[in-house]
Amino acid sequence: MSQWRAFISGGNVRQMSLALTEVVEILNSFLLPAMVAASKDQQSIGIWIPPEPWTQ
């Protein structure tokens, strides 16, 4: 956790108020469908709509 705090306090991370657990949940929802499809040698077709604060 101290590395996470160091990461979000340094550099150009703007308006970062997410906890590491929230980031993991977001990445899981984004990556898991594609990883499951790839493990079954299938294509993953879907649209990921980014939650706030991302706009692009």
Q: In the structure, what pLDDT confidence band is assigned to residue 56 with cuts at 50, 70 and 90?
A: low
Give the whole-number percent of the chain exceeding pLDDT 70: 82
What is the 3 state secondary structure string of the chain? CHHHHHHHHCCCCCCCCCCHHHHHHHHHHHHHHHHHHHHCCCCCCCCCCCCCCCCC
Domain boundaries defined on the chain: 2-39
Mean pLDDT on 14-26: 78
- The pLDDT of residue 13 is 62
Query: What would the pLDDT profile of 23-46 be if each residue is shown by its tens digit?
Result: 888 889 888 888 898 899 988 777
